[in-house]
A = this chain, B = another copy of it.
Amino acid sequence: MNSDVLPESVSNLIEEFSKLPSIGPKSAERLVFYLLKHDGNRELGKAAIDLKDGLVRCSTCQNFSTTSTCKLCANPNRNTKLICVVAQPLDIVAIEKTGLYRGRYHVLHGVISPIDGIGPEDIEVESLLNRVEAEQPEEIILATNPNLEGETTALYILRKLQDSPVKITKLAHGLPMGSDVEYADQMTLGRALDNRQAF
């Protein structure tokens, strides 16, 4: 019925937006009518078309890159003896924002999740193991999310590296800064108690 009311170019873009996660048909309609009223549809379109042009995975850390070795891995100021293992590139963005980490990364591009049919062979575990053998780092920080899939993935990597001399650590769990003890969930408060630190 929309075909009688909306021009094809309009329903086309509504359809494409609707395919994206967390954008329902109503939101898609609103986005398209926003673009009809404002500039920017061509810029958005060009950026979407160009998104994957020349994009490869860094041969060292597997992050998206335009060169075979990404800028971060090629940076001589980064500590090559420290590898932080993350599930996805956005985790790197978050960690870099802290300004507290000067090592390098390894992007798994996913986590082990049997319910979704994702096993260790579907994510970048093998490239990590090869890299550890070749680079002989001093420490590996397993920075996967503190949930079922993230911890499963971390445990799997831990087991695979148990015969390696590398030191393996994980991010600290506890109360988020600025939070209330009163409103903390049981799991988080439990971890905060277990891992309590001397003043």
Contact = CB atoms under 8 A, between A and B. Distances in A.
A131 B58 CA distance: 62
A48 to B, nearest CB: 3
Q: For the complex, would chain A's binding face be called helix, strand, loop or mixed by DSSP majority? A: helix
Interface in A8-59: 8-10, 12-13, 15-17, 19-23, 27, 29-36, 40-55
B5 A92 contact: yes
Contacts of A17: 44
Given A45-B46, A48-B42, A48-B44, A72 B30 contact: no
Contacts of A19: 40, 44
Interface of A: 1-2, 4-10, 12-13, 15-17, 19-23, 27, 29-36, 40-55, 63-66, 71-72, 75, 88-90, 92-93, 96-97
25 contacts: A4-B71, A5-B71, A5-B72, A5-B93, A6-B64, A6-B89, A6-B93, A7-B66, A9-B47, A9-B53, A10-B64, A16-B47, A19-B44, A20-B34, A20-B35, A29-B90, A30-B90, A33-B88, A41-B48, A41-B49, A42-B48, A44-B48, A45-B46, A45-B49, A45-B50
